[in-house]
Each structure stands twice: as structure tokens, then as C-alpha cells.
Amino acid sequence: MAEKIREEKGLIVRHRIVELIEHWAIALSGLLLLLSGFFQMPTANRYYFTSLPGLSWSGDFFVSLNVHYAASILFIAAALFHLTYHGMRGDMGMIPQKGDIKTSITVIKSFFGKGEEPPFHKYLPEQRLAYAGMAFIIAMLILSGLIKTFKNLYAPDMSLTVVLAATWVHNIFFALFVLAFLGHIAAILLKPNRPMVRGILTGSVRLDYARHRHPLWLAEMEMELANEIPAPMEQAPAPAVLLEDPQPAEKVDVIPAPDQETDPSGKKEQS
């Protein structure tokens, strides 16, 4: 079981080290790609970025292209690693599920004080939707970027139709990537989501937060433990029967809410 409850520290492992590396490799290289891609527009000289300390290189298109290429190597390799690794493991926890759009609306309303948010699995429904959207944007950026790179290296006289399509897809999805990034940052700034920031920085979130907000995730873990199913099924969405079965539901109920937590040591330590 990948997730580990550390009762003594009041933490639960939400992301394994490999997932943290994937996330930050894509995030940091993605930011560098945004910056160097912006300089390629061309903007550095016009907007005086070249005058800023440490950014004098930004006006040299060959230097910024090399920076763009270097960041792309990490970005593409990390994205393809993610797809292959989790695809082969059958990790489906972030794949959107039926009803996610409707539930997301309920959740977003709850952020503004309208109604209660429903209990969550490991990921929120809007996280699953955002993941699918971001994955699509990244896939289009990579595909169009590879065509452009191939053209730069081997085929400057490639079909103009293909070049134009790749260029405009790259430019449009560049803008969408900026919007998606801003949306991602906005989401983690929302108060109910803030405890998850710790998760993507350290791998663990507070156990009381998880019990309060992600009871279905904990229930899945319990069920797996009971069935002695090794990882990574904990990332898969809980089967519908779990929600209807009174027995697992009871297990959810026995997880004390943060303000009711009296004897954490009474909970079974999971390794």
C-alpha cells in the first residue's frame, strides 16, 4: 500500500516520491518552457527583459531556443514516463468519472458558502477534470513541439500545411497552458484546498484533514487492507458497491472527525 498513515505524526502519505518527482519535473520545466517560449515570440528585447539582471540572454533567440529545448527534454520525458508508468500500473484515480462535472459544480458552490461539499476520494472531481484538461494541453504542446523540432533539424521545407498547423496548435495551447497554470494556482489558494499544498511539497497531508475531507479514500485503503490487495488500487476510484455496502460505510463512520479524534493510537497502523 503506497499510502501510509502515520498516526504518531498525524499525517497520511498522499504522494509517493516518484509522483512528487513527476509533478515537479513537469511543473518546473513547464514554467521554463513558458518563459523561454515567451521570449521566442519575440518579446524579450521589445519589453526590455534583456535589461533585467540575469536575463540578458533572453534576447538571443538561439540561447532561448536551447533553454526551450533543454526544458522540453525534461518535460516530454516526465510526461511520457507518467503516462507509461501509471498506465501500466493501472492507476486510474485521476481519470474523470461519470458525474464529475455535476459534483464539481456542487463543490465549487460550497467554496462560496452554498451547500456542503460531498465526501471525497483521494482526488476531488474537479481535480480529475483539471487533470484531463491539463493532460490534453500538454499532449498537444508536446506533439506540435516535436513536429516543430523535427522541422528545425531535418525538414525546413516540410509541408507548409503541417508546419502552420503545428505552429498554431503550439501557440494556442501555449496560451491555454498559461491559463491552466493560473487556474491551478488559483485552486490551491482556495482555503479548503490549502492543506493539499503540503502534500505536493512533502508528500503527506494532515491525517485529520484527510479523515474530514477524503473519507472515501481512507475507506478504500481500509478495504484494500482487509482484502490484502497490494498497491496501487488505492488510486483507483472506489467501486460503486463500496458506497452502497453498509459495511465499508461503517468503516468510514468509525474514522473520527478531526474535532472528535480522541485516541488515534486505537486506529490500526498501516504500513
Partner 1 sequence: MKNEKTPEISRRSFLKAAAGAAALSGLTLPKAVHAGGGKQLASLIDLSLCDGCSDREAPACVSACRTINKDTIPPIAEPIPVPWPRKTVEDWSRKREVKNRLTPYNFIYVHQAEIDWNGQKKTVYVPRRCMHCDNPACATICPFSANHKQTNGAVVIDQDLCFGGAKCKTVCPWEIPQRQSGVGIYLHVLPTLMGNGVMYKCDLCNGRLGKGALPGCVEACPRKAILIGPRADIFALAEERATQMKGYIYGKKENGGTSTLYVSPVSFDLINKTMRKKPGQPDMPTGVERRMAGTDPLGKLVLAAPALGIAAGAAGAFKWLSHRKAQMKEGGKDNG
Kindly determine how many residues on this chain lie close enough to bind partner 1 according to the rule CB under 8 A.
53
Examine residue 85 and tell whether it contacts partner 1 (CB under 8 A). yes
Among 48, 102, 194, 254, which residue sits at the site for partner 1 (rule: CB under 8 A)?
A: 48
Handedness of CA 150, 153, 159, 163 (dihedral sign): positive
Site for partner 1 in 137-166 (CB under 8 A): 142, 145-146, 149-153, 156-157, 160, 163-164, 166
Examine residue 6 and tell whether it contacts partner 1 (CB under 8 A). no
**Alpha helix segments (H runs only) across the chain:** 17-39, 61-89, 100-111, 125-153, 160-189, 195-202, 207-213, 215-227, 240-244, 246-254
Examine residue 41 and tell whether it contacts partner 1 (CB under 8 A). yes
DSSP state of 203: S
Examine residue 42 and tell whether it contacts partner 1 (CB under 8 A). yes
**Cell 515567451, residue?**
38
Q: Between 76 and 238, whose beta carbon lies closer to partner 1?
A: 76
**Separation between Cα atoms, residue 11 and residue 154, nearest integer Å:** 52
Examine residue 136 and tell whether it contacts partner 1 (CB under 8 A). no
Q: Between 73 and 101, whose beta carbon lies closer to partner 1?
A: 73
Examine residue 47 and tell whether it contacts partner 1 (CB under 8 A). yes
Cell numbers placing 36: 523561454
**Separation between Cα atoms, residue 173 and residue 204, nearest integer Å:** 32
Assign residue 90 a region (left: φ > 0; alpha: ψ between -120 and 50; beta: otherwise). Answer: left
DSSP state of 256: P
Q: Between 20 and 255, whose beta carbon lies closer to partner 1?
A: 20
State in angstroms the smallest separation of the CB of 127 from partner 1.
22
Give the number of other Cβ atoms within 10 Å of residue 73's Cβ: 10
Q: x-or-dash pattern for partner 1, window 218-237, by CB under 8 A? A: ----------x-xxx-----
CB 219 within 8 A of CB 247: no
Q: How far is CA 249 from CA 29, 162, 252, in A?
A: 42, 54, 5
Examine residue 83 and tell whether it contacts partner 1 (CB under 8 A). yes
Among 7, 55, 61, 256, which residue sits at the site for partner 1 (rule: CB under 8 A)?
A: 61
Q: Between 145 and 248, whose beta carbon lies closer to partner 1?
A: 145
Buried b (16+ CB within 10 A) or exposed e, 55-68: eebbbeeeebbebb
State in angstroms the smallest separation of the CB of 220 from partner 1.
17
Among 32, 34, 45, 176, which residue sits at the site for partner 1 (rule: CB under 8 A)?
A: 45
Residues that bind partner 1 (CB under 8 A): 18, 40-42, 45-48, 61-62, 65-66, 69-70, 72-89, 142, 145-146, 149-153, 156-157, 160, 163-164, 166-168, 171, 228, 230-232
